[in-house]
Amino acid sequence: MQELKLKIAQTIATLVDGALSPDEIAAMLEYPPDSAMGDLALPCFKFAKAMRKSPVMIASALRDSFSCEGVKEARAMGGYLNFTLDTDFYLATVNKIVSEGENYGRSEEGKGKTVVLDYSSPNVAKPFHIGHLGTTVIGHSLKKLHEFLGYTCIGINHLGDWGTQFGKIICAYRRWGSRAEVEAGGVDELVRIYVRFHEEAEKDPALNDEARAEFHKLELGDEENIALWKWFIEISLAEYKKTYDQLGIEFDSYNGEAFYTDKMPEQIELMREKGLLTLDDGATIVNLEAYNMPPCLILKRDGSTLYPTRDIAAAVYRKRTYDFDKCIYVTSSGQSLHFAQWFKVVEMMGYDWADKLVHVPYGTISIGGAKLATRTGNVILLRDLFSTAVEKCLDVINEKNPALENKEATAEAVGVGAIVFYYLLNGRIKDSDFNMEDALSFDGNTGPYTQYTYARCSSILSKTGDITGRATALTEPSEFALVKVLSRFPEAVKAAIRDYEPSVITRYSLEVATAFNKFYQDCRIISSEGEVNESRVLLVKATRTVIREALALICLKTPEKI
């Protein structure tokens, strides 16, 4: 569809005497809400000033002069010029998708460019809970989307492996833990003693001083505390990787906050040389009043560093190491001010790549309206959520298709995919309340519905054999409607990247599934004959390809049978 849009735009550009460029006109083309109005629509309002005519008159004049390969008819409808595409366009689209296969929608626009993505980044010694789902799946989807368009992507898991919480855990471990219990219980045991620390600290605030002292020893390189800290990280990573395996996620780097400890002094000295640092009640800050922001804290009163200091050092290291064209940070919207502040500080330091730093915020997630907090033990663990979803899917499979091969693997793909799909369905900035029953439904706007549609395509193709000809005979409205949706896949990918919004792909995959199932209901496929049979089978093949690639971009697997 993109190529045809540009052809139409180039034709229009010549008819409006260069009032707008072809690219500008192509961006104006819309999809009418009703197919009876046509397949594409061009609002003519932007031409009015340059052409000194009303949009209605412009649309009529353009209609009379318009001719473009791939367009069957142009109609003036009010201030719009609407286009109906010819059958050859639809046939060519099916054949293009079948011919290109997994390369359909891909491009090399990102060739030679590097994107660094900082996402997931859990705090060590705490388990994955549903609150970590956003940064993990949004971040990985953005990585896959950029890779799809040829970018070299570096996935970084910036572990929260430094800070006073480690003093608390070390203190709690020495008071109420043991090596045997931690070895047996893993992260769960670390959480238990961490929660207990906060409970006990409410009764005895002196425990907080003890925790600060333990972290200070860690900062100074105390051998025992360093050994414990490394052990806690090792235990945590083993747990996290189980979840990453379920999601099909791998990272290029696990360098966390501690990695940048020796890289901060250089950046602090540069800020000092630039005259950016001032003292405020004993703390060292960068004043951002001129930019309508609170001051950015660089050093505490005691000289210890804070998150902005570490993030600045990390950004400089990543630019030097990867020479990125873009560095994306996927975190909750609650951190938007933090990122705006230190991005501005990087700019003030004179780094000319400051505008390549991108914060991608997302809303909060809750269950039953309840917010999550590790320190109180009020968490819904992601592994438990996945386990419940997989179990429920396995129950459905055992009821409806008990002879299915590899049903445990299928249940995992559908169960885990259901949660991810449900989360990525709405715009990322929107707060959401998770509902397991809605997520796992095979009816409606869900992952299982879309995955089942893929499996239905696979089932049809397993019965028809591999047809390698060309589509030559599409005649039914539901066929054209499906092809029109399939033709928009490349546009959906670009829109998702442009807006850093995986939900564009999630919603698009639902459109494909819905259009396919309407086609499936309206048209005989296996029992059709001749050119009609061949064309419909190829349309199924094209649909299967697009669903597979779209779901892969949002971290979902596609079982052949469900």
Q: Which ranges of 87-186 does DSSP label H, i.e. alpha helix?
A: 87-100, 133-148, 164-176, 179-185
- Residue 193 pLDDT more than 90? yes
- Give the span between the Cα atoms of 268 and 282, in whole angstroms: 16
Tokens of 246: 């379920």
- Give the span between the Cα atoms of 444 and 507, in whole angstroms: 12
Q: For 49-79, what is each residue's pLDDT tens digit?
A: 888 899 999 999 999 999 999 999 999 999 9
Contact indicator for 166, 126 with CB cutoff of 8 Å: no
- Give the span between the Cα atoms of 317 and 515, in whole angstroms: 47
- Residue 291 pLDDT more than 50? yes
Q: What is the pLDDT of residue 374?
A: 46
**Rounded (10°) angle between helices 477-487 and 87-100:** 50
Name residue 41's amino acid. Answer: A
Overall average pLDDT of the 154-161 stretch? 96
**Across all residues in the chain, what is the average pLDDT?**
93
Q: What is the pLDDT of residue 543?
A: 98
**What is the enclosing helix (H) or strand (E) of 383?**
helix 382-400
Q: Which CATH class is domain 382-553?
A: mainly alpha
* Overall fold of domain 124-264+304-376: Rossmann fold (3.40.50)
pLDDT range class, residue 370, cuts 50, 70, 90: low
**Rounded (10°) angle between helices 307-322 and 336-348:** 60
- The Cα-based distances of 318 to 205, 225, 247, 441, 558 in angstroms read 40, 28, 25, 42, 34
Distance between alpha carbon 213 and the CA centroid of its chain, in Å?
40
- Give the span between the Cα atoms of 436 and 433, in whole angstroms: 10
Name residue 105's amino acid. Answer: G
Q: What is the pLDDT of residue 375?
A: 46
Return the SS3 of 117.
strand
Tokens of 469: 């000809």
- Residue 482 pLDDT more than 80? yes
- Residue 88 pLDDT more than 90? yes
Tokens of 456: 């239905």
- Residue 348 pLDDT more than 80? yes
Task: Report the chain's terminal Cα–Cα distance, integer Å.
Answer: 32
- The Cα-based distances of 445 to 3, 425, 509 in angstroms read 30, 8, 10
Sheet holding 71-77, edge to edge: 40-43, 80-85, 71-77
Tokens of 234: 């090792």
pLDDT range class, residue 368, cuts 50, 70, 90: low
Report, in angstroms and rounded to the nearest whole number, the Rg of the chain calculated over CA atoms.
28
Span(s) in the chain for CATH 3.40.50.620: 124-264+304-376
Span(s) in the chain for CATH 1.10.730.10: 382-553
Largest distance between two CA atoms of the chain: 85
Q: Are strands 365-367 and 432-434 parallel, antiparallel or unpaired?
A: parallel
Name residue 131's amino acid. Answer: G
Q: Are strands 80-85 and 40-43 parallel, antiparallel or unpaired?
A: antiparallel
Q: What is the pLDDT of residue 439?
A: 87
pLDDT range class, residue 369, cuts 50, 70, 90: low
Q: For 332-342, what is each residue's pLDDT tens digit?
A: 999 999 999 99
The better pLDDT of the pair 47, 129 is held by 47
**What is the enclosing helix (H) or strand (E) of 155?**
strand 152-156
Please give the backbone phi and psi of residue 49, each rounded to the nearest 5 degrees, phi first: -65, -50
pTM listed for this prediction:
0.92
- Residue 254 pLDDT more than 60? yes
- Residue 378 pLDDT more than 60? no
CATH superfamily assigned to domain 2-85? Arginyl tRNA synthetase N-terminal domain (3.30.1360.70)
Torsion of CA 215, 218, 223, 229, to 10 degrees: 80
Closest among 554, 543, 550 to 459, alpha carbons compared: 543
Tokens of 5: 């849009």
Return the SS3 of 159.
coil
Return the SS3 of 68.
coil
- Give the span between the Cα atoms of 57 and 36, in whole angstroms: 22
Contact indicator for 508, 554 with CB cutoff of 8 Å: no
Span(s) in the chain for CATH 3.30.1360.70: 2-85
Closest among 451, 389, 85, 369 to 243, alpha carbons compared: 389
